[in-house]
Homo-oligomer: A and B are copies of this chain.
Amino acid sequence: MEELMGHLSETDLFNGLTVEQIRKVLTISRKVNFNKNEVIMEEGQIGDAMYIIIEGVVQVIKTLTLKGVEEDSDGKNKVFTRLDAKQHPVFGEIALLEESERTATVMAETDCVFYEIRKDDFLRLAESDYEIGYRILLNLARIVSSRLRKVNEDAIKLTTVLSLVLREN
Contacts and interface: CB of A to CB of B under 8 A. Distances in A.
Residue among A70, A97, A98 facing the most chain B CB atoms (10 A cut-off)? A97
Chain A residues touching B, majority SS: helix
Contacts of A165: 162, 165-166, 169
Contacts of A15: none
A166 to B, nearest CB: 7
Residue among A126, A130, A141, A160 facing the most chain B CB atoms (10 A cut-off)? A141
Copies of this chain present: 2
Interface residues on A, range: 35 or more
A118 to B, nearest CB: 16
Interface of A: 63-66, 69-70, 77, 94, 97-98, 100, 103, 126, 130-131, 133-134, 137-138, 140-142, 144-145, 147-149, 151-152, 154-166, 169
